[in-house]
């Protein structure tokens, strides 16, 4: 089984070297594709010197960038990973194990924050993982993966600034079983901390309520603006 790791980036010069070093410890990965959405902090220039990854450009926005990476991928499984997230050491083996079941079309992992303070972060992570286990779903912070054929059948990610991950998993689940891998992806809570954990949680729930009420993610983005850079919807 060939797994293509796709990493969308925008101004991630500080985080990207550590991210690629971590992925280099996963020799089972077939390839690593980094999709730059127009960075202005030196990310693109630094990537030019990296021989261990394939670098492509994509229109800004995670949905657009992930789709761009998928177009260049040659693996039969696509793994979507944020630049500030780290896979468990045996992630490729676990993905291969769950996909050995032909009914499984994709899945995601549980999540653990790198930062342990403030303590409310542990409550936030526990809530995300409870929802993941109960609803058998996941968001972009949780290293989503899918068979390449299923990704095509699901028409990839919506070109939205918000909820492209939630929408993708919804469509994925219509095509087969979505697996929750009982291991943890470690991701940074830097944006929660920068914006305020409680404030971010409340904003995320407000956005989710709007989304589930049928309001377009494009409209939600226009109304709320972008108070958290590259805002996430994992709450």
Looking at residue 76, what DSSP letter applies? S
Half-sphere exposure of 155 (CA within 13 A, CB side): 7
* pLDDT value of position 190: 87
Q: How far, in Å, CA of 139 to CA of 13, rounded?
A: 24
CA dihedral over 189, 235, 9, 178, signed as positive or negative: positive
Average pLDDT over residues 116-125: 91
* pLDDT value of position 229: 45
pTM: 0.92
- The DSSP bridge pattern shows strands 177-187 and 3-9 to be unpaired
Instruction: Please determine, for residue 114, whether its predicted confidence score (pLDDT) is greater than 50.
Output: yes
Instruction: Please determine, for residue 5, whether its predicted confidence score (pLDDT) is greater than 60.
Output: yes
Give the bridge partners for 113, in sequence order. 187
CATH number for the domain formed by residue range(s) 3-189 = 3.90.550.10
Instruction: Please determine, for residue 60, whether its predicted confidence score (pLDDT) is greater than 60.
Output: yes
What is the tens place of the pLDDT at every residue in 153-196? 999 999 988 899 999 999 999 999 999 999 999 999 988 888 88
Decide: 64 and 37 in contact? Cβ < 8 Å: yes
What is the domain partition of the chain in residue ranges? 3-189
Q: How far, in Å, CA of 5 to CA of 126, rounded?
A: 26
Average pLDDT over residues 133-145: 95
Instruction: Please determine, for residue 27, whether its predicted confidence score (pLDDT) is greater than 80.
Output: yes
Give the bridge partners for 61, in sequence order. none
Query: Chain-wide mean pLDDT for the chain?
Result: 91
Look at the chain and count its residues. 235
What is the tens place of the pLDDT at every residue in 78-109? 999 999 999 999 999 999 999 999 999 999 99
């Amino acid at each position: 089984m060939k797994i293509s790791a796709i990493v969308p980036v925008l101004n991630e010069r500080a985080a990207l070297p550590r991210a690629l070093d971590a992925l280099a410890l996963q020799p089972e990965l077939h390839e690593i594709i980094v999709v730059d959405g127009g960075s202005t902090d030196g990310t693109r220039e630094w990537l030019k010197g990296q021989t261990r990854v394939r670098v492509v450009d994509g229109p800004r926005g995670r949905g657009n960038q992930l789709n761009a990476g998928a177009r260049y991928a040659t693996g039969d499984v696509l793994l979507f990973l944020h630049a500030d997230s780290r896979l468990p050491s045996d992630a490729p083996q676990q993905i291969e194990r769950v996909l050995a079941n032909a009914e499984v079309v994709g899945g995601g992992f549980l999540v653990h924050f790198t930062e342990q303070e403030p303590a409310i972060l542990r409550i936030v992570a526990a809530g995300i993982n409870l929802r993941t286990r109960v609803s058998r779903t996941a968001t972009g912070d949780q290293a989503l993966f899918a068979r390449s054929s299923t990704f095509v059948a699901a028409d990839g990610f919506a070109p939205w600034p918000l909820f492209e991950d939630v929408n993708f998993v919804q469509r994925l689940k219509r095509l087969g079983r979505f697996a929750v891998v009982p291991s943890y992806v470690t991701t940074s809570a830097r944006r929660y901390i920068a914006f305020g954990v409680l404030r971010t949680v409340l904003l995320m729930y407000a956005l989710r309520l709007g989304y589930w009420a049928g309001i377009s993610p494009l409209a939600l983005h226009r109304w709320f603006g972008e108070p958290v850079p590259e805002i996430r919807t994992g709450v």
